[in-house]
Structure 1
Amino acid sequence: MRHPYKALVTGHSRGLGEAIARALLAQGIPVLGLARADNPALADEFDSLLVQVRLDLSDPAAVLGWLEGGGLAVFAADGDALLVVNNAGSLGPVAPPGRQDGAALVQAVSLNVSAPLLLCDGAMRVGCASVRVAHVSSGAARTAYPGWSVYGATKAALDHHARAVQQDAPPGLRISSIAPGVVDTAMQTAVRASAPEDFPRLERFIGLKAAGQLSTPEAAAGRLVAHLLSDAFGTEPVVDVRELA
């Protein structure tokens, strides 16, 4: 039976993005995965439901070119509703201003902000009667951390994008920016490798890992996908999965 939903998931090649894609695929929802690399394990498990496109999401010209080339429209053509999960993201330069690598800063803004906004806009152009957009945000969007000015600012941009788009109220669109909690992914490994002088809160995150207080990607993805598919999705523009009923 054809599923009424189709889903685009960015950064599906590993970590939380892989877990989100798997959770959707397991429900019979076709997934278009966008990432710099393919995911062979997902392809083996869900060959008939998974479409993979290698795309550098930190290159806005490449993202725009892919959208203008009709890739998303072709994928969504026979679907009643389109889900967009903007998961791909970068921690960016971890340092106070004056010690931030300029190229890494530009790349983080392009990946964390430009790509999700372009994909949201592109999703509204494909003609589906219903579109649901989930930005994967962070607690760092809502709490300032020293050393994370770039990461926090880019995630806060997603939160505010969701708030403003709700004010636009485009017909058929539901949107929410969702913080998934502290998830045990490669990004958390990078956090724990930060220099203490650049990230003064380092010991807190080392402690969370040591105490087993990190969520698994599968658990976080399960809560996120359940919310994405629920009637409650989009009623609040900014949510945290840890606060969902």
Structure 2
Amino acid sequence: MTTSSSASRTAIRALVTGHTRGLGAAIAELLLQRDIDVLGLGRGTNAALASAHAAHFSEAVVDLADPLALEQWLASGAFEAFIEGADCVVLVNNAGTVEPIAPLGAQDASAIARAVTLNVATPLMLANALAATPALSANASRRIVHISSGAARNAYAGWSVYCATKAALDHHARAVALDAPTNVRICSLAPGVIDTGMQATIRSTQANHFPLRERFEKLKEDGQLSSPEAAARQVVDYALSEAFGSAPTSDVRELG
């Protein structure tokens, strides 16, 4: 997929959730550097992106852990207005939370509800909106990237909510692939272990709530965490490649 010509600036558009920091900010930045118009969606704004890429970056403030707020935003027509006429739309479902980190019985009920909404309901609602939108021609390509995790495929004590929600994204991608909707490609993609605020949250968790905390502390100490920029490059390169969607689940560490 070519993104270098001036015509491609309007041909490809991308919606990135959780674009204000970490991996989401790095993905948005890289897409903008490739002359792709980006709409950031989240509960905050990214002043740096807005300043550096005023012509090709827009954002909407929506609490993605509130399904009614997202439903109202989708009904506003802002999504259709942004993607209208595009030849390809890339949806990057990046926003997510690792909390609550605690064993069953010690989890806050409201935190569970917010995590399930943010990590599962929001990506599924946005994916459905992209597949159903009348703003694109029948031939337009729709690419859905769920940012998954190794926790989707391996269980960890203290992460029952996070593991379950990321596994839900993987299985959603598998089922959508079986649906084979026209011109829709989907992949639930694990980006590796990245040096972001989520990792800081993990390292600050009580050891009795997350027995593997020491392992993640050591990854930081030993410099084994990927930078958001390096992980974003792998995600974006794959999302724009011809190979994208050839498998419904993948891991950047397994890509050639």
> Could you state the TM-score of these two structures normalised by the residue count of structure 1?
0.99
Q: Is structure 2 residue 210 aligned with structure 1 residue 199? A: yes
User: Which residue identity is paired with 1:27?
Assistant: R
Q: Is structure 2 residue 126 aligned with structure 1 residue 115? A: no
Q: Is structure 2 residue 55 aligned with structure 1 residue 48? A: yes
Partner of 2:3: none
User: Which residue identity is paired with 1:98?
Assistant: G
Partner of 2:146: 135
User: Which residue identity is paired with 2:105?
Assistant: G
Separation in structure 1 between the aligned mates of residue 177 and residue 224 of structure 2, nearest angstrom: 33
User: Which residue identity is paired with 2:190?
Assistant: A
Give aligned pairs, total: 245
Partner of 1:27: 34
Separation in structure 2 between the aligned mates of residue 68 and residue 235 of structure 1, nearest angstrom: 32
- After TM superposition, the runs of 4+ consecutive aligned structure 1 residues lying more than 4 A away are none
SS at match of 1:33: strand
Partner of 2:169: 158
Offset at 1:171?
0.1
Separation in structure 1 between the aligned mates of residue 70 and residue 7 of structure 2, nearest angstrom: 28
Deviations 1:73-122 (A, max 9, x none): 01001211111000000012111110000010100000000000000000
Separation in structure 2 between the aligned mates of residue 123 and residue 132 of structure 1, nearest angstrom: 9
Partner of 1:125: 132
Offset at 1:126?
2.1
Contact 1:36 1:54 in 2 (8 A): yes
Unaligned runs of 5+ in 2: 1-5
Specify which of 4, 7, 16 is matched with residue 2 of structure 1.
7
Unaligned runs of 5+ in 1: none
Specify which of 190, 196, 201 is matched with residue 179 of structure 1.
190
Partner of 2:22: 15
User: Which residue identity is paired with 1:97?
Assistant: L
Deviations 1:174-210 (A, max 9, x none): 0000000000000000000010000000100000000
Contact 1:76 1:126 in 2 (8 A): no
Offset at 1:137?
0.4
SS at match of 1:239: strand
User: Which residue identity is paired with 1:168?
Assistant: D
Separation in structure 1 between the aligned mates of residue 128 and residue 67 of structure 2, nearest angstrom: 13
Separation in structure 1 between the aligned mates of residue 87 and residue 216 of structure 2, nearest angstrom: 42
> Could you state the TM-score of these two structures normalised by the residue count of structure 2?
0.95
Separation in structure 1 between the aligned mates of residue 154 and residue 244 of structure 2, nearest angstrom: 23
Partner of 2:244: 233
Q: Is structure 2 residue 152 aligned with structure 1 residue 144? A: no
Q: Percent identity?
A: 52
SS at match of 2:63: coil
Q: Is structure 2 residue 96 aligned with structure 1 residue 84? A: no
For the aligned residue pairs, the C-alpha RMSD in angstroms reads 0.7
1:70-81 to 2 correspondences below 5 Å: 70-81=77-88
